[in-house]
């Protein structure tokens, strides 16, 4: 073989290896842990027990609609990373879902490195990812074609839409304690259809993450968990672990990620128009913002 041909072969091998590495480096929002027959209550109990045995704290759980249960969990790495990261409380919990799909139960969870990068956290949560895999299993990542860590750290769905650094400021109070108290009271009252699923406090930092359920009817159905997921979560495996939505108290302010970021980061490949598209939920971001703001004592037009 000539030197020229050998050179071409070496170049092809290098480019092929680089392409494979780039492909491997792409991250997806969710991980399918297992899929098979079972009974919902029993499977949820088994999943919770496995998580606790692996060293996770179960912060809370709920059933947003029939055939689905979502569990919020945290651990030492999540909390430590949240404490080191600006607005890191948004990443202080991972979400685990058990979903009935036809005759099977899918167990899935949020992919820690994906969300660590999406929320611009100090570390990529590789230990948490390994613990989740050891506790629940790992079949495949899913939910998108895949995004690089760099793309995730600067993600927005399209021009003019919000980044992670553009959250809604729902309300402001005189102190952190006042803000937390107002959020707890508003969620307990549930007048806007928004109620508490779990709370995770970030140690050594004035931040508390609230996972919240959202129920709406009539004109307000566009902020409802079941309605939203019926429109956008139509592929198998299901992306149930997108839920629940988040409220973050940081210092004396109450925040939520704008829905055009928070929903899009879970469903980055969703079409803008057509069946099962963002166009079908175009009124949801404003409705979510309003419901959350009024729940925590803010104004309906809070930005």
pLDDT at position 277 is 82
Taking residue 16's Cβ as centre, other Cβ atoms within 10 Å add up to 10
- Counting Cβ atoms within 10 Å, is residue 156 exposed (0-12), middle (13-18) or buried (19+)? middle
How far is the C-alpha of 226 from the C-alpha of 233, rounded, in Å?
10
For the chain, what is the total number of helices (H) and then of strands (E)?
A: 10, 11
Q: Has residue 21 been placed in a domain? A: no
Question: Could you report the per-residue pLDDT of 78-96, keeping only the tens digit for each?
Answer: 999 999 999 999 999 999 9
Q: Has residue 291 been placed in a domain? A: yes
Q: Is the pLDDT reported for residue 255 higher than 60? A: yes
pLDDT at position 188 is 98
% of the chain surpassing 90 pLDDT: 85
Q: Has residue 204 been placed in a domain? A: yes
Q: Has residue 277 been placed in a domain? A: yes
What angle, rounded to 10 degrees, do the helices at 284-295 and 176-189 form?
110
Arithmetic mean of pLDDT, 139-152: 97
How far is the C-alpha of 228 from the C-alpha of 243, rounded, in Å?
10
Q: Has residue 185 been placed in a domain? A: yes
**Whole-model pTM?**
0.91
**Which tokens belong to 2?**
């000539």
pLDDT at position 279 is 86
How far is the C-alpha of 67 from the C-alpha of 52, rounded, in Å?
23
Q: What total number of domains does the chain contain?
A: 1
For residue 97, give the nearest of 224, 237, 193, 275 by alpha carbon: 237
Per-chain mean pLDDT for the chain: 92
pLDDT at position 121 is 97
Residue 79 belongs to domain with CATH number: 3.30.310.70
User: How sure is the predictor about 274, in pLDDT bands with cuts at 50, 70 and 90?
Assistant: confident
Q: Has residue 229 been placed in a domain? A: yes
DSSP per residue, 215-278? ---GGGGGG-HHHHHHHH--SSS--GGGPSEEEEEETTEEEE--HHHHHHHH-TT--SSSTTSG
Arithmetic mean of pLDDT, 9-34: 63
Q: Has residue 4 been placed in a domain? A: no
Q: Has residue 239 been placed in a domain? A: yes
| Secondary structure of 66-109 in HEC code, one letter for each residue | CCEEEEEEECHHHHHHHHHCCCHHHHCCEEEEEEEECCEEEEEE
**Which residue segment(s) compose the domain that 74 sits in?**
28-295
% of the chain surpassing 70 pLDDT: 92
Q: Is the pLDDT reported for residue 238 higher than 50? A: yes
For residue 184, give the nearest of 174, 195, 200 by alpha carbon: 195
Question: Could you report the per-residue pLDDT of 154-191, keeping only the tens digit for each?
Answer: 999 998 899 999 999 999 999 999 999 999 999 999 99
Q: Is the pLDDT reported for residue 20 higher than 60? A: no
When comparing pLDDT for 36 and 11, which is higher? 36
pLDDT at position 291 is 97
Q: Would you give the DSSP letter of residue 176?
A: H
């Amino acid at each position: 073989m000539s030197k020229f041909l050998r050179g071409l072969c070496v170049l092809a091998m290098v480019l092929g290896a680089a392409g494979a590495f780039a492909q491997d480096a792409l991250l997806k929002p969710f991980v399918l842990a297992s899929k098979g027959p079972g009974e919902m209550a029993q499977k949820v109990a088994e999943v919770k027990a496995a998580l606790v045995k692996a060293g996770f704290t179960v912060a809370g759980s709920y059933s947003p609609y029939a055939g689905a249960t979502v569990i919020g969990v945290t651990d030492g790495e999540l909390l430590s990373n949240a404490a080191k990261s600006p607005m890191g409380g948004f990443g202080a919990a991972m979400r685990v879902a058990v979903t009935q799909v036809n005759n099977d139960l899918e167990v899935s969870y949020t992919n820690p490195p994906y969300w660590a990068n999406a929320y611009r956290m100090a570390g990529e949560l590789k230990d948490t990812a390994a613990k989740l895999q050891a506790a629940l299993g790992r079949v495949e990542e899913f939910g998108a074609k895949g995004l690089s860590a760099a793309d995730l750290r600067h993600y927005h769905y399209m021009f003019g839409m919000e980044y992670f650094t553009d959250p809604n400021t729902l309300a402001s109070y005189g102190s952190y304690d006042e803000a937390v108290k107002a959020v707890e009271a508003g969620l307990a009252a549930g007048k806007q259809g928004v109620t508490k699923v779990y709370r995770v406090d970030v140690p050594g930092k004035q931040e508390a993450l609230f996972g919240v359920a959202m129920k709406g009817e009539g004109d307000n159905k566009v902020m409802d968990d079941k309605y939203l997921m019926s429109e956008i979560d139509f592929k198998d495996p299901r992306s149930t672990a997108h839920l629940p939505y988040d409220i973050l108290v940081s210092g004396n302010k109450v925040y939520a990620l704008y829905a055009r970021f928070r929903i899009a980061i879970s469903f980055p490949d969703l079409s803008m128009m057509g069946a099962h598209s963002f166009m079908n939920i175009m009124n949801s971001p404003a409705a979510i913002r309003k419901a959350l703001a009024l729940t925590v004592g803010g104004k309906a037009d809070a930005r």
